[in-house]
Amino acid sequence: MALPPPWQLQRLTWPHGCKATHACGESLHHSPLCPPDCKAHKNCKRGCPKPCPKDCTKHASTCPDRKEGGLVFTRPKTKKSRNSVPIPPPFVPYLLEHKAQQEEMRAAAGDEWQEHDALFTRPDGQPIDPRDDWEEFKELLEEAGIDDRRQHDGSRHTAGTILNELGVDLPTIMEILRHSQIGQTRRYVKGRSHLAKAAMVRMGDTFMPSPTPAPEPAPKPASETTTETADTRAARARRRRRIR
């Protein structure tokens, strides 16, 4: 089974729709530098924001005339990105079950349902905000006791590493991950240490074959006839007398 991805959900920066762009975003401008012991941005990975220039025209999130920004559906960038995504057969029943649940949500929403032909949606049919998905991913990591990781590492990187461990060649992995260059795929996958060790063992056996042990003789099957024929005639006569 394969799913065609004709569209992708992308967050675009809001542009100003007004003429006084600098005055419109004045409340959001970063003019002073943060102190060395800044606590407001201590949890930000990028650190404290840099001061805005004097003629800054950004910060259109509060502009009343903003347009063409936020979450929008865009076409994938490359032709490979528009190829169908193969789905492992064991996952298909879960997708069918999810589709049945989505039909129940559509019936419950009624006229409030907004159809976007999306696979994963909110109860009203709108696409899920990637920020909400990111927060849920972090919560799952915390509940499972896993160190903090990027969401990108838990999807394409993991898939590429698993396929590499299963012995799938790099061109096939590149096609599944929809990469345009194989060098990009090499950065995604990790080395297969156990396969590398096995390859070195085979190369060592090629140059210096290990001595083959001599096969052990197969034991003769024990049978009643063999046991009796090993006895002498006198021993068999004494055994018959004891039986009588």
User: Could you tell me the residue range of the domain that residue 169 belongs to?
Assistant: 153-206
What predicted TM-score, i.e. pTM, was given to this entire model?
Answer: 0.57
Residues 174 and 79 in one domain: no
Residue 179 burial by CB count (10 A; 0-12/13-18/19+): exposed, middle or buried? Answer: buried
Residues 106 and 4 in one domain: yes
Residues whose CB is less than 8 angstroms from the CB of residue 163 and which lie 6 or more positions away in sequence, other chains included? 172, 173, 176, 189
Decide if 46 is inside a domain. Answer: no
pLDDT at 237 over 70: no
Rounded Cα–Cα distance for residues 52 and 156 (Å): 36
Q: With CA atoms as reference, report the closest residue to 25 among 52, 50, 6.
A: 52
Residue-wise pLDDT tens digits, 29-48: 777 777 778 877 777 777 78
Decide if 238 is inside a domain. Answer: no
Handedness of CA 3, 6, 8, 9 (dihedral sign): negative
Rounded Cα–Cα distance for residues 159 and 177 (Å): 8
Count the domains in the chain.
Answer: 2
Q: Any idea which residue has 């005339």 for tokens?
A: 65
pLDDT at 230 over 60: no
DSSP 9: E
Least confident of 79-88, 102-111, 124-133, 157-166: 79-88
C-beta of residue 95 within 8 angstroms of C-beta of residue 87: yes
C-alpha distances out from residue 54 to 21, 25, 29, 35, Å: 12, 12, 9, 20
Residues 72 and 10 in one domain: yes
